[in-house]
Amino acid sequence: MAPAGLAAVETRAIAVTRTFADFDDFWTTTTKGGAGLISILADMTSDDLDRLKERVRARLRSDAAGRITYAGHANAVKGRVPE
């Protein structure tokens, strides 16, 4: 039994890769995603938001066609409560 009281605990990493057509596609998709991020961006001044956007743009690499490929991962865990 695992320390949390679960049995048959299994874990796995889930890797994903997503390609965006260009930076504008990336920015629009990621800034419209989560409620937490939307509220943070809404509280920023337009100058601060412009600076953030340019800093993000500078950190992302694009291919010759301007596409941006972004990789991420999540950890999945499942277990069973013993009877």
| Secondary structure of residue 67 in the 3-state scheme | coil
For residue 59, the one-letter residue type is: R
Confidence band for 55, pLDDT divided at 50, 70 and 90: very high
Beta strand spans in 1-83 (E): 7-20, 68-80
Residue 1 predicted with pLDDT over 80: no
| Domain ranges within the chain, ordered by starting residue | 20-72
pLDDT: which is higher, 82 or 21: 21
Rounded to whole angstroms, the maximal C-alpha distance in the chain is 57
**Residue 7, φ and ψ in degrees, nearest 5:** -115, 160
pLDDT per residue as tens digits for the range 28-48 = 998 887 777 888 899 999 999
pTM of the model: 0.69
HSE at residue 14, side-chain half, CA atoms within 13 A, is: 6
